[in-house]
Amino acid sequence: MKLVFASNNANKIKEIQQLIPSSIEVVSLQDIGCTEEIPETADTIEGNAILKANYVTEKYGFNCFADDSGLEVEALNGAPGVYSARYAGEPKNDDNNMNKLILALKNEPNKKANFKTVICLNVDGKQHLFNGIINGEIIDTKIGENGFGYDPIFIADGFTKTFAELTMQEKASISHRGIAVKQLVNFLNSAE
């Protein structure tokens, strides 16, 4: 089976390819000649995942899956949430986003947060949604070189290292995206 992963984010593509069984060929937007920026105009994480998957299926005709992820901080009423990638404005910049978040939580004792991923799969004319959430907290110092996004300032519950200190395999086994991808993989395996 061949599935388009509606992303041009090289880090996400690498992470996903590690998790999907080799019986399923995962190709990127670039591989199908989709170079335009897919609009992410929904006001929810679920909505953006659906928009991206539908865009590829409708415009290119491929079975496809798309994900959208966000960091939801309890003390900020779920922000940055759907705006996580552009929290500090355009252009997207992980350091600026983390700096803005650390500043926003400076005098806030509640540092609880969660990462949430929603995957939308469009396959054979049907749509399926898979969700992954990992709870943790935000720290005020960036630690670690791995990962991307808010990984250097997020520690999952039950762990002492940030996501950026974990190997790709360690992170994938517990992360929000890993949880959602496992559901996707289980679904694809049961459908074969």
In sign, the C-alpha dihedral spanning 11, 16, 19, 23 is negative
Q: How far apart are CA 187 and CA 185, in angstroms?
A: 5
Residue showing tokens 């540092």: 111
CA distances from 156 to 19, 31, 62, 66, 163 (A): 20, 34, 35, 24, 7
CA 84 to chain centre: 10
132 close to 175: Cβ distance less than 8 angstroms? yes
Is there a catalytic annotation at residue 68?
yes
Q: How far apart are CA 145 and CA 125, in angstroms?
A: 41
Catalytic residue among 68, 94, 95, 157: 68
Q: How far apart are CA 143 and CA 44, in angstroms?
A: 29
Residues known to be catalytic: 68
